[in-house]
Structure 1
Amino acid sequence: MDELFESLEDPEISELIGKDMSETWSQEGISKPPYDTAVLLERINQTKTSHLRVTKRKRNKQWKVWSSIAAILVLSLLGGGWFWNEINKEEQEKWQYRRAEIGEVVPVVLPDGSKVWLNAASEIRYLETFSIRNVEITGEAYFEVEEDKGRPFTVKTGSVTTRVLGTSFNVRAYKEDQNIQVTVRTGKVGVGKRQEGMATITPNQQISYSLENDAFAFSEVDASSLCSWRNGDLIFENSTFQDAVVILEKHFGKQFKFENERLKTCRFTSKFSGKESLDHVLEVLSKLNGVTYKVEDGTVYFDGKKCL
């Protein structure tokens, strides 16, 4: 017990605790701590003084009590961010959510005037006040961001962050995707896993982050074509069959399966207006990739020996 109090009194250890607390609050999105760190450390010191006054006769009996108190205080310091986040439900309720259902494209206007289009089965969330221009998405979204040099606009998709000042770009990050893709239509966009060392991409460039390999890859694309899905179009540009199936599932509300797993890597380019029937789309895709298909109980099965 004495060793614990002596450790907490050490300035270096106190500083480490403070840093750990700050990191915890930052991860939980808490800008202001729910208590004064100095006051809590002072209380621990007072607890230490009281502890030393305990008589030798009572020492063994009260040792467990003081150990529990000290443990609770330390855990409160280290886990305070989580605890505060749990009890501060009102703050959590200030998040705003918008969602596009299967087969929908939903336009959203953010509090700063920036415009977002959500592709089918996609969701965006942001703080109601929007004092900090941060949003989080799952699925696919196209952004037209209002310029504000004093307030960067940040999009969070899993472990990847996209940071801009004023531009138009597309982010795709469905849970089923193997890659997170960011495509720039106008302006410049910074993309990376950390704020520092972000890669910059410009119009008609795309950066793709592989979840499997933890690596980024760059490519030149037709951004206007890729982003035209917001008009209801189905766009596939050098897409793998597997990536295309993710979009088809969201658009038509059907399940797709491959009888031959090797077909998932087939690549093709095609565009549909979004008004064509599922049968028409399947006919075109089967011819492009040299495969056959069948529909059973609401599920589409692709089969074939190899890609064309």
Structure 2
Amino acid sequence: MKKRFCKLIPAFTMLVLLFTSCAKEPTVSVIEATIDGYSVTFSVVVTDADTYLWDFGDGSTSTEAAPVHAYVSSGDYTVSVTVTGKGGEATATKAINILPSVTEMLSGGTTATNGKTWVLSTGYVAGVNGGSVVDNAMFVMLPTVENVLTVIGLGYEYDNEYTFYADGKYVVDVKNELAVTAGIYGMVNGTTKDVGNEYNTLGIYAGSYVAPASATWTLHEEDLVVKAVVNPVGTDVPVLTEDRTITGRKWVEISSDAFFGILDFPSTRKFIIKEITPEKMEVALFVCGYFPDQTAWNVPSYFYHLTYVPKN
């Protein structure tokens, strides 16, 4: 009996080796990635695989066969998957790019603990910067110039800072207790401190301002309906006003007592984002500037088209 058992051992060993040698090595094809904002659905076609190990390139992993992963911020990531089977393992990699959302470009995203601070650019681009009536076309009819605040004697107001946080917090820092202020607003509230020089025909001055202890911002994507002066260069009393609808644009609403860009009546506590990248933001600001009709002093009459850049 003992001899017979000893004869079986080599036979069993050979059988194990035979099956092991016949186990197929897993294969893995190209990784597929479907990107929806910051969420990515991954999949891969494999054969002879029992387990999966995904590395999403941001420190996160998964053992699911077809995982869905949410990235925290934009950027380039190298994703890899290693599959394991009875015959060994195989690995595939793929480079993906997550584009920044408007919220991330505006605020720096959730990883920017100090938010993102914007200041008015001293540059000028024809057809981009200047003034227009309040309408959806936003065609710039009134050009400005490079370093416009300096030209009109208010160059020190380039130090106004506007900081957006991803959680909706908003901070205005005007540095010298003076803010760029719409002329009629400053007159009505008695806050105008400096009207600039003889070249200032823009209707904006420097006025005293105390920022609120707390403020917020909200990004909107729906249409914006605003009551506006139809002909801001006329002299009619009463002046004709009508609702103007802004479509196809994202816009930001600022909480009470705060402002962005130009301090004006509460009807202007919002601005249109015309274009935004991580390096610049082109906006249309509502400005109340129709003087002949006192009942319309707080009604937006112009868009001021300005460019802001991140603070260095």
Both structures adopt the same fold (TM-score exceeding 0.5): no
TM-score using structure 2 length: 0.22
TM-score using structure 1 length: 0.22
Higher RCO structure (Cα 8 Å, ≥6 apart)? 2
Larger radius of gyration: 2
Higher normalized helix content (fraction of residues): 1
